[in-house]
Amino acid sequence: MAVGAIRTAVAAADRILLVCHVNPDGDALGSMLGVGQALLKLGATAVEATFPAPFVVPEPFEAMPGKQLLTPRPGPADFMVTLDAASESRLGAYADLLGTVATVVLDHHASFTGFGTYPLVDPRSPATAAIACELVRRLGVELDQGIAECLYIGLATDTGSFKYDLTTPAVHRLAAELLETGLRPGEISQRIFDTRPFGAVKLYGDVLSRSVYEAAESLVWTSATLGDLARHGQPAYVLEGLIDGIRCAAEAEVACLLKQVNEGEWAVSLRSRGATDVSRVAIALGGGGHRAAAGFTGHGTAEEVVARVRAQLRS
């Protein structure tokens, strides 16, 4: 880890920009805001954080410490940190800054395409938040409760509340270190995982009732449309937890959730029980991720997109 060079670059920077991927999840936002607060403690004078449009912070993350750093229209920057983005395309227009300013890349996806001045990427890490925490430590910044809460949210979300395979003893030790700053895990978990509008509960019921099980590919899938969101008056972010509602089907090895973004465009989430490498499927279809959790952008009807997934599973 090029900590000395990063520390020197941070000290010399007038304005630092942190960017995470489009439609950020808890790991992306938590890592970004945790690092942002740490850079301020390190002495950075101007730090802004953002992500590509649509610039909407999901309600469960509205109370996250460091949220004041977020802006939809950041100013010019002479140093950048990208977080939880495995490819330049996930950074939207902010990818244009790559190559023009020194950039630290924090990521944990095996599908990382290779970019940035200081790529700190570890596919064995359970979350970008774990890599961010290591960077914060190496920079000599003491964890406070605000930084710790952001990193804990990132760690908890990407480990599925500490139930996925990458939840090692080291992950629990890191969680304990973060909790020792005074965090209340019950309150955080309720806010992040166990609170949603009643309209979202009704929407989940509609979408889950359309689930299809295909025994030949050991696949269970369903789709959530823009019409579903409009009918129940819900924003798109409420769909983030819906994949867990179908991945628990005992008969299926692979779960697939299609979330409509525009007419003929879908954000596709894939989950595996372990025997199938869904990152291979996602990469073949233009996306990326991990063995047990991956995703891509699909085009066409829902049935056409699922047919492509089915073909990859067969191959």
Q: What does the pLDDT look like over 59-115, one tens digit per residue?
A: 999 999 999 999 999 999 999 999 999 999 999 999 999 999 999 999 999 889 999
Domain layout of the chain by residue ranges: 3-193, 198-314
Predicted model pTM: 0.91
Give the pLDDT confidence score for residue 165 in this predicted structure.
82
Q: Rounded to 5 degrees, what are φ and ψ at 168?
A: -90, 170
Residue 117: predicted pLDDT:
95
Backbone angles phi, psi at 141, to 5 degrees: -90, 125
Strand order from edge to edge, sheet including 219-224 = 212-214, 219-224, 254-262, 265-272, 293-299, 288-289
pLDDT at 288: 85
Query: E strand or H helix at 268, and its extent?
Result: strand 265-272
**Cβ-contact 261, 223 below 8 angstroms:** no
Query: What was the pLDDT predicted at 93?
Result: 95
At residue 111, the pLDDT reads 86
The string of pLDDT tens digits covering residues 203-213 is 999 999 999 99
CATH architecture of 3-193: Alpha-Beta Complex (3.90)
Exposure of 151 by Cβ count < 10 A (0-12 exposed, 13-18 middle, 19+ buried)? buried
Question: Which residues on neighbouring strands pair with residue 14, listed in sequence order?
Answer: none
Using CA atoms, how far apart are residues 10 and 6, in angstroms rounded to an integer?
6
CATH of domain 198-314: 3.10.310.30
pLDDT of residue 164: 85
The ranges of the chain with pLDDT < 50 are none
